[in-house]
Structure formats: C-alpha cells, structure tokens
Chains A and B, each alone.
Chain A
C-alpha cells in the first residue's frame, strides 16, 4: 500500500535536497559547457575550411547519432580500458559526456539561429571595418539569440530530466537517490513521487527564468522601453532636448 508518511518524510529531507542540488548543478554546468561547445562547433560547421566543417559534421553525427546512455558508459567503462591512467571521477564522466552530447544539439540550434540573421547584417558590419569575430559578437549573435533561446530552453528542460541517466553509474542525483532510499524499504514508488515533485519544481522554476530571458530579447519590449524611458534618460544624460539641441554639440568641426 502507498504510504504518504514516507513521501512527507523524504520530501523535506536533506538527502533529497542534496540530490536536487546535484541534479541542478550538473544540469547548469553541462548545459553551459554545451552552449559554449555548440557555439564553436556551429562556427566550425559554417567555416569555409573543409577540415573545420568536416570535423564539426563528424562531431554532430557521432553525438547525435548514438544514445547518451551509451556515451556515458563508453566514457565510464571503456575509456579506462583504453587509457588505464585516465580514470575520471563519476561526476566528471557525467559532465564530460553530457556537455559533449549537448554541444552537438546546441551546435545545430545555434547554427540555425545564426543563419536566420540577414546576411546583410554581416556585410554592414564588415563594411564598417569590423572583423568577423567582432561582427559575430556585437552584431550577429545578439540577433541570433532571439531565435536560439526558445529551443535552448527546451534543451535545458530536457537536461534537468536527462541527468537521471547519471544514476546508472551511481551518481546520487534525484533518481539515483530515490532508488537508493526506496529499494531497501520497498517504498520506491513513494520516493519516485518525491523525485518527480522536485523535477517539476526545477522545470517550473526554469520556465519562469526562460520567460524572463525571452521577454528581455523581445523587440516589442525594447520599443516600449525606447518610447517611454530611454528617450528621457539619454536626453537627461546627454543634455540635449528632443528637437533643437543637437546642433549645440558640434564642436570645432
């Protein structure tokens, strides 16, 4: 029979807090590394040098084409057999595997974002004397971000749940902890309810954060900002009025 008291007992226990924290930080670190990796893979993929784009293609092909669970096990079990001296700690195995895997997916998302920006933007930046890297950073990526963030949100949401794979190598994140405490007492169901609660809590919190980020990148928001606050603010800071002040700033030219 189902025992609510076990649910309540574990819901606010320090083991579960610890496990939820592990789930969260693994997700955040792996996702962040995945975004950075993905950016480089995306840029390599779009490079005109065949060696770079070929490597990026192969990378994406491998990491998207094989299961994450297999990649984790290959790294955990297989790597020490190939290179005996290289024995990574469990959490490092998870972070490396998750980051590399996520990098492949993010690369495609970022590439789509960059291609969505009008090529005229890069041309305009170049015509002003910007080099590729500066133009990418200041002009193209800020515009690509609007296209990248919604699928990135999906990816992070997935990441929070995919961390459960870490339990197969004994890492005590939410799912692993639920199994460890649930199995000996035959209360695995109760513990999984507790874990589910925390997964939902984390993904819900994330959806708020994502909404906030998307709102900040929304052009309509910036236009409201533009009309109400920004104008008066700059007008005050620079000390010219909205209609006839500009000319007074001309100094010796």
Chain B
C-alpha cells in the first residue's frame, strides 16, 4: 500500500517541492531566521538538526505559513505560499488560498495536537470530510487502512486521552496522511515522548520515507537523521551553518559549530 499516490503525477512541473529563499523572521528583537534558503526535492527526506533556539522549528512552521515571515519567499511546487505579489509588494494571501495549499501539506506537531473531543478515527476523517468534502464511507475506509498502517486498528474508537504519547503521535501522522499530502513536515515529532515510545513513531516515519514521501523533518534523533535523510541541514543561531549528505555532516563536518554540536549529542 502506498500513501504517496499524488506524488507520481506532477513530476514534469517541478522537481522542487519546497523552495525557500532568504527567509527572515523575528519575534520582537530576536531574529530567529536570518536569510535562510531551503530546497526540498520531490521524494527527498531533508532532516534539519541544530541546538534549541536555532530556528529550525520556526523554519518548518513558515513552510505551511503557521508563522508569517518578515521577508523572503516560500514556494510549494512553484506556488508562493502565504503571500501574493501586488504591484511588486508582498501582501498576505487570501485565507482560502492558504488553506488550500496547507491541505496538501501534512504537519506533525511535537505535542500531537489531536482533537480531544473526537476518537482516533474521527480525528482522521475530520478534514477529508469537511475540507475535501469526500464521502464519509470512502474516507472511513481509508482512515482504517491508515490506522492499520500505523499499527492502531484496534484503537479506532479510543479517545486521545486513552492513548499513550506514541500512539497519539501515530494517530496524528495518520490524520495528516488522510489528506493525501504531497509533503510531510515533522516538527520534533518524538521530542515529547517517553524514550521507550520514540521507536514506534520513528518506525512509521522511516516507512513513509521508504515509500517515497517527500519529508522535511526537524529532529534530535541523530540515528534517524543518519539512516533516513537524503540531505541534512545543520542550523545554529538563525542561519544554516552547514548542509550536505548525512555522511558528510556526521562523519566529516567542515564547520566547527557542527562538530561541537554533534560532539555534545553523542
């Protein structure tokens, strides 16, 4: 079974799923992104690592416009997200347009953010039914298949507070996948989990990567980054310090800050 059916279609249009150019973002006086460029190609797994406060989570949130940017451009499959150009100036785009682009991007949160008033199954079918207006029966079947895929068939009717953190995160991944996204963003998806639950979530993410899903992953799991990433980005103090294939970053880092960071993690 593949959940990346949408991936095969538009290859001719653009090889690049995400393109971010010179992103600048500050919170008050604090600059969290200072001219960051990012490119995620179709089918690629890009892993972003770096110390806390380096801006990696903010970068990920900018990609689906959960954060506004101060300057720069972000394109999803060549289409600018969040802003449109009016007489050479960038203005915030219409809500409907932003929502439509977002519906094609799965986002997995550190704190899961499942809807607590809905069962696992209801969490998954909510957006396909109310956003994509797909028939309930079809969506429910797909949702059950997704629950099976993340190993939670028997939890379909459990409410989130009855699930462990790892189970909740797997439901959250299934919820994002139910929209048939062309891109998945993972924001420290395992950071809020007890150590023994991290593996089950990483396994699902690994499986997705194997199926060819385009992914941008912010994580502190260096083993995962080394095994799964096609491209690793090391960020520190609001800029990308170093990037390259995992072997280069983990075994032969050129920059002192990268080596120091990786040294502290090990």
Number of chain A residues close to chain B: CB under 8 A: 38
Do B115 and A219 touch across chains, with their CB atoms under 8 A apart?
no
User: A142: which B residues are within 8 A, CB to CB?
Assistant: 117
Do B100 and A129 touch across chains, with their CB atoms under 8 A apart?
yes
Chain B: CB-nearest residue to A142: B117
Q: Does residue A242 face the partner (Cβ distance < 8 Å to B)?
A: yes
**Partner among A129, A230, A243, A245 whose Cβ is within 8 Å of the Cβ of B119:** A230
Do B130 and A134 touch across chains, with their CB atoms under 8 A apart?
yes
Known contacts A230-B119, A253-B1; decide if A129 and B159 are in contact (CB<8 Å). Answer: no
Do B142 and A253 touch across chains, with their CB atoms under 8 A apart?
yes
Q: Does residue B131 face the partner (Cβ distance < 8 Å to A)?
A: yes
Complex: A127 Cα to B64 Cα, angstroms: 7
Complex: A118 Cα to B148 Cα, angstroms: 29
Known contacts A123-B66, A243-B154, A246-B153; decide if A128 and B109 are in contact (CB<8 Å). Answer: no
Do B99 and A243 touch across chains, with their CB atoms under 8 A apart?
no
- How many Å from the CB of A137 to the closest CB on chain B? 9
Q: Does residue A247 face the partner (Cβ distance < 8 Å to B)?
A: yes
Complex: A129 Cα to B132 Cα, angstroms: 9
Do A238 and B140 touch across chains, with their CB atoms under 8 A apart?
yes
Complex: A143 Cα to B161 Cα, angstroms: 14
Do B131 and A238 touch across chains, with their CB atoms under 8 A apart?
no
- How many Å from the CB of B122 to the closest CB on chain A? 10
Q: Does residue B102 face the partner (Cβ distance < 8 Å to A)?
A: yes
Do A250 and B1 touch across chains, with their CB atoms under 8 A apart?
yes
Do A238 and B105 touch across chains, with their CB atoms under 8 A apart?
no
Do B121 and A130 touch across chains, with their CB atoms under 8 A apart?
no
Do B159 and A240 touch across chains, with their CB atoms under 8 A apart?
no
List residues of A (197-250) whose CB comes within 8 Å of B's CBs: 219, 222-223, 226, 230-231, 234-235, 238, 240, 242-247, 249-250
List residues of B (110-140) whose CB comes within 8 Å of A's CBs: 111, 113-117, 119, 121, 126-127, 130-132, 140
**Contact mask B76-106 → A, CB, 8 Å, 1/0?**
0000000000000000000110011011111
User: B102: which A residues are within 8 A, CB to CB?
Assistant: 126-129
- How many Å from the CB of A140 to the closest CB on chain B? 10
Do A124 and B113 touch across chains, with their CB atoms under 8 A apart?
yes
**Contact mask A100-141 → B, CB, 8 Å, 1/0?**
000000000000000000101101111111111010001100
**Partner among A128, A249, A250 whose Cβ is within 8 Å of the Cβ of B103:** A128
**Partner among B106, B153, B172, B176 whose Cβ is within 8 Å of the Cβ of A245:** B153
**Partner among A121, A222, A251 whose Cβ is within 8 Å of the Cβ of B115:** A121
Do A223 and B99 touch across chains, with their CB atoms under 8 A apart?
no
Do A134 and B161 touch across chains, with their CB atoms under 8 A apart?
no
Do B99 and A234 touch across chains, with their CB atoms under 8 A apart?
no
Do A243 and B1 touch across chains, with their CB atoms under 8 A apart?
no
Complex: A134 Cα to B179 Cα, angstroms: 16
Chain A: CB-nearest residue to B66: A123
User: B64: which A residues are within 8 A, CB to CB?
Assistant: 127
Chain A: CB-nearest residue to B148: A246
Q: Does residue B156 face the partner (Cβ distance < 8 Å to A)?
A: yes
Do A131 and B95 touch across chains, with their CB atoms under 8 A apart?
yes
Complex: A22 Cα to B156 Cα, angstroms: 48
Q: Does residue B170 face the partner (Cβ distance < 8 Å to A)?
A: no
- How many Å from the CB of B19 to the closest CB on chain A? 20
User: B107: which A residues are within 8 A, CB to CB?
Assistant: 124, 127
Known contacts A246-B145, A246-B148, A249-B144; decide if A130 and B127 are in contact (CB<8 Å). Answer: yes
- How many Å from the CB of A123 to the closest CB on chain B? 6
Complex: A253 Cα to B131 Cα, angstroms: 21
Do B109 and A132 touch across chains, with their CB atoms under 8 A apart?
no
Q: List 26 A-B contacts (CB under 8 A).
A: A121-B115, A123-B66, A124-B109, A126-B102, A127-B106, A129-B103, A129-B132, A130-B130, A130-B131, A131-B95, A142-B117, A222-B117, A226-B158, A230-B119, A230-B157, A234-B156, A235-B157, A238-B140, A238-B144, A246-B147, A249-B141, A249-B144, A249-B145, A250-B145, A251-B141, A253-B3
B interface residues (Cβ-Cβ under 8 A, vs A): 1-3, 5, 64, 66, 95-96, 99-100, 102-107, 109, 111, 113-117, 119, 121, 126-127, 130-132, 140-142, 144-145, 147-148, 153-154, 156-159, 161-162, 172, 175-176, 179
A interface residues (Cβ-Cβ under 8 A, vs B): 118, 120-121, 123-132, 134, 138-139, 142-143, 219, 222-223, 226, 230-231, 234-235, 238, 240, 242-247, 249-251, 253
Which 4 pairs from chain A and chain B are nearest by CB? A129-B103, A246-B153, A246-B148, A124-B113
Task: Please give 12 more A-B residue pairs, beta carbons under 8 A apart, in addition to A126-B99, A222-B159, A230-B119.
Answer: A120-B109, A120-B111, A126-B102, A129-B131, A131-B95, A134-B130, A134-B131, A139-B126, A219-B159, A219-B161, A234-B121, A250-B145
